[in-house]
Structure 1
Amino acid sequence: MKLAYALEKVKALGVLRSRGVSDPRKPVETLRTLKESRIFGPQATLIRHNARLDPGSPGLADERGELTYGQIDKQSTAVARGLQAAGITEGTVVGVLARDHRGLILAMVAASKLGVRVALMNTGFAKPQFAEVCKREKVKAMLHDSEFLGLLDALPADLPRFLTWVDENTELPEGAKTFDDLIAENTSDELPKPGRPGGFVILTSGTTGLPKGATRDNVSPLGTAQFLDRVPFPYRGAQVIVSPIFHSTGFGSWLVGMAMGNKIVMRRRFDAEATLQMIADHKAELLVAVPTMLHRMTELDPEIRGKYDLSSLKVILLAGSALSPELTIKATQAFGPVLYNLYGSTECSVASVANPEELALAPGTVGRPPITCEVRLYDDNDKQVTATNTTARIFIRSGTPFEGYTDGRHKQIIDGFMSSGDVGHFDEHGLLMVDGRDDDMIVSGGENVFPQEVENLLLERPDIFDAAVVGVNDAEFGKRLRAFVVPEPGHTPDGEEIKAYVKNNLARYKVPREVIFLDDLPRNPTGKLLRRVLVEYEVTP
Structure 2
Amino acid sequence: MLTRLSELPNRLRELPALAARVPNVLHSVDVMRRAGLMVLSRPDTGVKALLAMRRWGPIVGAATISMERDPYALAIVDERGQLTYGQLDRQSNALARGWHDDGLAEGDVIAVLCRDHRWLVLAMLAAGKLGARLLLMNTGFSGPALADVSERENVSAAVYDHEFAGLMDALPDRVRRYLAWAEDDEAVRATTLDDLIANNSDKAVPVPPRPGGLILLTSGTTGTPKGAPREIRSPFAAAHFLERIPWRTGECTMLAAPMFHGTGFSQFVLNLALGSTIVVRRRFDPEATLQALEEFRCTALVVVPTMLSRILDLGPGVLKRYDTGRLRIIFAAGSALSPDLGNRIIKNFGPVLYNLYGSTEIAVASIATPNEWQQAPGTVGRAPHGCEVRLYDKDGQRVTEPNVTGRIFVGSELSFSGYTDGGNKAAIDGLLSSGDVGHFDEAGLLFVDGRDDDMIVSGGENVYPIEVENLLLDHEDVSDAAVVGVPDKDFGQRLRAFVVITGNVDAESLKAYVKANLARHKVPREVIFLDELPRNATGKVLKRKLAEYDEE
The reply to whether TM is greater than 0.5 is yes
SS of corresponding position for 2:433: strand
SS of corresponding position for 2:219: coil
Matched, 1:205 2:180: no
Equivalent of 1:107, from 114, 118, 123? 123
Matched, 1:183 2:197: yes
Equivalent of 2:82, from 66, 74, 84? 66
Q: Distance in 2 between matches of 1:219 and 1:264?
A: 23
Q: How many residues matched?
A: 536
Matched, 1:442 2:456: yes
Give deviations 1:355-374, integer Å, cap 9, x for gaps: 11100011110001111011
Equivalent of 1:142, from 143, 158, 162? 158
- State the one-letter code of the partner of 2:44: V
Give deviations 1:71-127, integer Å, cap 9, x for gaps: 000011111111111111101001011111101100000000010000100001111
Matched, 1:7 2:7: no
Give the structure 1 partner of residue 506 of structure 2. 494
Contact 1:239 1:287 in 2 (8 A): yes
SS of corresponding position for 1:439: coil
SS of corresponding position for 1:165: coil
Give deviations 1:448-479, integer Å, cap 9, x for gaps: 11110000000011111100001112222221
SS of corresponding position for 1:149: helix
Equivalent of 1:376, from 382, 390, 394? 390
Alpha-carbon shift at residue 440 of structure 1 (Å): 1.1
Contact 1:482 1:513 in 2 (8 A): yes
Q: Distance in 2 between matches of 1:61 and 1:227?
A: 23
SS of corresponding position for 2:155: coil
Give the structure 2 partner of residue 92 of structure 1. 108
Matched, 1:360 2:374: yes
Matched, 1:123 2:153: no
Give deviations 1:24-75, integer Å, cap 9, x for gaps: 3333343233222112101112222222221110011111111000000001
My pick for the range that moved more, 109-118 or 201-210, is 201-210
Contact 1:354 1:366 in 2 (8 A): yes
Matched, 1:216 2:230: yes
Alpha-carbon shift at residue 6 of structure 1 (Å): 4.0
- State the one-letter code of the partner of 1:370: P
Matched, 1:522 2:522: no
| TM-score of the two chains, using structure 1 as the length reference | 0.97
SS of corresponding position for 1:292: helix
Alpha-carbon shift at residue 185 of structure 1 (Å): 0.7
Give the structure 1 partner of residue 275 of structure 2. 261
Give the structure 2 partner of residue 509 of structure 1. 521
Give deviations 1:394-421, integer Å, cap 9, x for gaps: 1111132322110111112211211111
- State the one-letter code of the partner of 2:135: A
Q: Distance in 1 between matches of 2:413 and 2:69?
A: 28
Alpha-carbon shift at residue 263 of structure 1 (Å): 0.5
**Gaps (5+ residues) in structure 1?**
none
Alpha-carbon shift at residue 221 of structure 1 (Å): 2.1
After superposition, the CA RMSD in angstroms is: 1.3
Alpha-carbon shift at residue 350 of structure 1 (Å): 1.1
Give the structure 2 partner of residue 390 of structure 1. 404
My pick for the range that moved more, 21-30 or 202-211, is 21-30
Alpha-carbon shift at residue 4 of structure 1 (Å): 4.8
Q: Distance in 1 between matches of 2:209 and 2:233?
A: 17
Equivalent of 2:486, from 472, 478, 486? 472
- State the one-letter code of the partner of 2:182: V
Q: Distance in 2 between matches of 1:447 and 1:129?
A: 37
Q: Distance in 1 between matches of 2:384 and 2:232?
A: 20
- State the one-letter code of the partner of 2:207: K
SS of corresponding position for 1:205: coil
- State the one-letter code of the partner of 1:437: R
Q: Distance in 1 between matches of 2:487 and 2:415?
A: 39
- State the one-letter code of the partner of 1:40: W
**Gaps (5+ residues) in structure 2?**
1-15
- The share of aligned pairs that are identical, in percent, is 54
Q: Distance in 2 between matches of 1:5 and 1:48?
A: 27
Q: Distance in 2 between matches of 1:261 and 1:343?
A: 25
Q: Distance in 1 between matches of 2:342 and 2:546?
A: 25
Contact 1:222 1:400 in 2 (8 A): no
Q: Distance in 2 between matches of 1:409 and 1:324?
A: 32
Matched, 1:165 2:181: yes
Give the structure 2 partner of residue 401 of structure 1. 415
Give deviations 1:486-515, integer Å, cap 9, x for gaps: 112xx2320111111111111111111111
Matches within 5 A, 1:232-251: 232-251=246-265
Equivalent of 1:155, from 148, 171, 184? 171
Alpha-carbon shift at residue 326 of structure 1 (Å): 0.6
- State the one-letter code of the partner of 2:141: F
